[in-house]
Chains A and B, each alone.
Chain A
Amino acid sequence: MSKNKKGLSILLLTFIFALSAFLAGCSGSDSEKSSGDAKGDVTLRILVWNNNPEGTKLENEIFQAFEKENPGVKVKMVYAPYDKFNDKFLTMSAGGDQPDLVWIQPAAFGQFVGKGVLMDLSDKDIKKDEYMPNVLELGQVDSKQYALIRDASTFQMGYNKDMFDAAGVPYPTDEWTWDDFLAAAKKLTKVEGGKTVQFGMENYYTGELLVQNGGSFVSQDGKKVTIDSPESIEAVQFGSDLINKHKVQPTSAQSQGMSNLFLSGKAAMKLMGPWDWADTAKNATFKWDIVPMPAGKAGNVSAAAYLPIGIGKGTKHPEEAFKLLEFLSSGKGQDLQIDTISAVPVVKRNAEKIVDMKNAPENADSLATLLQEGKTVMNAPYTPEYAEIQSKIQPVIDNINLKNLDAEKELKKVADQIRKEYGLE
């Protein structure tokens, strides 16, 4: 019988605990929509992904500056991890709980626009003259403006100066070519006892190879498959040769699980964006710098890496939302972001400040030049199927690299398959 009493008291306790857990859960649940409304304040919610925890915190400083300038408007940041971003946005939208502003992953942009999730900003008062070339276009679909860009940048080639010195290879110039690159990479690759102990290049991404040679997966209007164009084939073959023929870049078996060959002193060159500067400056035990990507057939151009921000169509505060978007994309936010979150500005007036950014390498000026001269290429069409098409071509290229297959044959095959499946030219 005593056991039963014990059981009963445990039961009672559990119920009390359960209840208190419930209440605790509820007390912290003041709905964000109601908060602030009492005072007549407007609360804008912006959905972002986080690049790193420090950065996410610092984003708030920019929002605070906006709140200061616009009394009565509060900004609330909601963040999700990058690779779970769509999960979050889709559920929020479907539940009628869409954020007022949203960061957009370029691969999802076509879908967002196609499904009418974003507000058309074309007839808003956009300060077009403020922007550097090719920036506004990054937020357009069928010449309608669906997003404004907050930061736009590009990959460049980072290189280990000490290794170049040791190998007696002159530093690359801003106008170097694939031939120069390959020659340098060969001299920088060191083999000891049958094992490569130092590679010329860490990993030359397919996307960049294509851009430098004027190739692409699909044409910019999304209507034509271009992965089997002569330029694309040449670019993919060049990439495969780096691994399989010249052996200046590790195979996937050699590089699997190695997070950063460049920083650990196992590779002389690496694709690098401004987002890598801080980490490299902190951890590199050698002298390093950057140069524009080596020129294939298309010159020293590289793919645009950028952050579009859109306004949710369902927002109840379109005026305030646009005010915030403008603040971020061309207003004071552009001045603040350089120092707070080390984000590359998109407005002309701040182009020269790139050189003064934290951890900027010596040749950071070359990045400013690339951006000012519009030498960045948008290489992802905003069509709904693009992400899927890309996911079908990339494995073929991986296979070419892995098994040293003939690029022309494989790419022609997959291109025809995709033409058939998606009804493209």
Chain B
Amino acid sequence: MFKSKTFSFYMFILPWLIGFFIFTAGPMIYSLYMSFTDYSGLGAANWVGIENYQKIFTEDPLFWQSLWNTFFYTIFGVPLGLVVGYLLAVLLNAKVKFMGAFRTIFYLPSLVPTVASSLLWILIFQPDFGIANSILSFFHLPTSNWLLSEEMVKPSLIIMSLWGAGGGMVIYLAGLQSVPATLYEAAELDGAGKLRKFWHVTVPMTSNVIFFNLIMGLIGAFQIFTQAYVVSNGNGGPNYKSLFYVFYLYQDAFKFFKMGYASALAWILFIIILIFTLIQFKVFGKKVYYEYDE
């Protein structure tokens, strides 16, 4: 019907292409331009060349601090989130009674608005009477100041994020459902045990969604903001240890009226995430299940 593959490809992605040029490309270029100005969000923008970038790299300790905070959160939070979400999905893919109820319950944390659930976590981590310390002291383990401790605030936020692993779980579930039962049957005929089936059938056959959750987890973790904003009362404390990159960027843009500076920060983050994503594609992309791909 169509003249060529290329033509038909562009016809298929046409809606996105149009949207990209109208709603995305312009704003992205605009923000790139603004990153070279002293734009405040109000009034005119004056060209300042690379001053913003220069300042970020040479004079801004909070840039490095927030970048490190974000790296820490990403490096520990993303893999943990992937594993927990996957295991939850595997558990929930079993044929047991009340499965619908269990799945809904596991997904609940993702439905409660972040602001509300973050406030709940403040109570859980409350040093004096919070549940976290109560459990620890019951087992005679050392307690912590959690969100008020410079060392523990990031791990605390990672724990909070694991609790929301049900979000990724849904996608894994859909992936697990797409694994053809014939493959399990074939593996069983070969005498494969449960663990073998898991490693040799389930994991490879769902590598597509694992890869998807990895990339999206990465992009999401690099942009963590709301939880930290709520638990630190909007200041990124204690001592800037929960001041994540986008949190700092947001402060610059809407609290300090440094939209140009914030745009420069955004583009630096953009480049960082892009590099990470491309590395992921190079490292994992080939191994990801492409059996039916050309």
Contact = CB atoms under 8 A, between A and B. Distances in A.
Q: Do A and B interact directly, with beta carbons closer than 8 Å?
A: yes
Interface of A: 83, 86-87, 90, 93-94, 107-108, 111-112, 114-117, 252-254, 256-257, 384-385, 387-388, 391, 394-395, 398-399, 402, 421
Binding site secondary structure of chain B: loop
Given A391-B251, A395-B235, A395-B237, A256 B122 contact: yes
Interface in B143-158: 145, 147-148
Given A108-B257, A387-B255, A388-B256, A94 B41 contact: yes
Interface string B225-256: 00000000011111110000000000100111
Interface stretch (B106-114, B123-131, B167-175, B280-288): B123-131
A224 to B, nearest CB: 20
Contact of B40 (A87, A115, A399, A402): A115
Contacts of B256: 385, 387-388, 391
B77 to A, nearest CB: 23
A398 B257 contact: no
Contacts of A252: 148
A59 to B, nearest CB: 24
A229 to B, nearest CB: 23
B257 A257 contact: no
A256 B43 contact: no
A388 B252 CA distance: 8
Interface string B19-60: 000000000000000000000111100000000000000010
A112 B257 CA distance: 10
Contacts of A254: 127-128
B239 A87 contact: no
A298 to B, nearest CB: 27
A398 B43 contact: no
B42, B59, B122, B237 pick with most chain A CB within 10 angstroms: B42
Contacts of A394: 235
A254 B130 CA distance: 11
Nearest to B121: A257
B43 A116 contact: yes
Interface residues of B, number: 30
Contact of A93 (B42, B148, B237): B42
B147 A256 contact: yes
Given A87-B254, A384-B257, A402 B41 contact: no
B123 A257 contact: yes
12 contacts: A83-B234, A86-B255, A94-B42, A111-B40, A115-B42, A253-B127, A256-B125, A388-B255, A388-B256, A388-B258, A394-B235, A402-B148
Interface of B: 40-43, 59, 119, 122-123, 125-128, 130, 145, 147-148, 234-240, 251, 254-259
A299 to B, nearest CB: 30
Given A116-B43, A252-B148, A86 B254 contact: yes
Contacts of A384: 40, 257
B237 A256 contact: no
B238 A399 contact: yes
Nearest to B236: A395
A111 B238 contact: no
Given A253-B145, A384-B257, A90 B235 contact: no
Given A93-B42, A111-B42, A398 B237 contact: yes
Binding site secondary structure of chain A: helix
B238 A402 contact: yes
Nearest to A396: B239
Contacts of A399: 238-239
B240 A395 contact: yes
Contacts of B41: 86, 90, 93-94
Contacts of A107: 255
Contacts of A385: 256
B131 to A, nearest CB: 12
A83 B251 CA distance: 11
A107 B257 CA distance: 11
A391 B147 contact: no
A330 B257 CA distance: 31
Nearest to A254: B128
Contacts of A108: 257
Contacts of A115: 40, 42-43, 257
Contacts of B255: 86, 107, 387-388, 391
Contact of B43 (A83, A117, A388, A395): A117
A388 B261 CA distance: 13
Given A253-B148, A391-B235, 20 more contacts: A86-B254, A90-B41, A90-B259, A93-B41, A111-B42, A115-B42, A117-B43, A253-B128, A256-B125, A256-B127, A257-B122, A257-B130, A388-B258, A391-B251, A395-B236, A395-B238, A395-B239, A398-B239, A399-B239, A402-B148
B257 to A, nearest CB: 4
A360 to B, nearest CB: 30
A257 B148 contact: no
A114 B16 CA distance: 40
Given A83-B234, A387-B256, A395-B237, A90 B42 contact: yes
Contacts of A402: 148, 238
A93 to B, nearest CB: 6
A111, A257, A388, A399 pick with most chain B CB within 10 angstroms: A257
Contact of B148 (A83, A111, A256, A387): A256
Nearest to A86: B254
Contacts of B259: 90
Contacts of A93: 41-42
Contacts of A114: 40
Contacts of A94: 41-42
B106 to A, nearest CB: 26
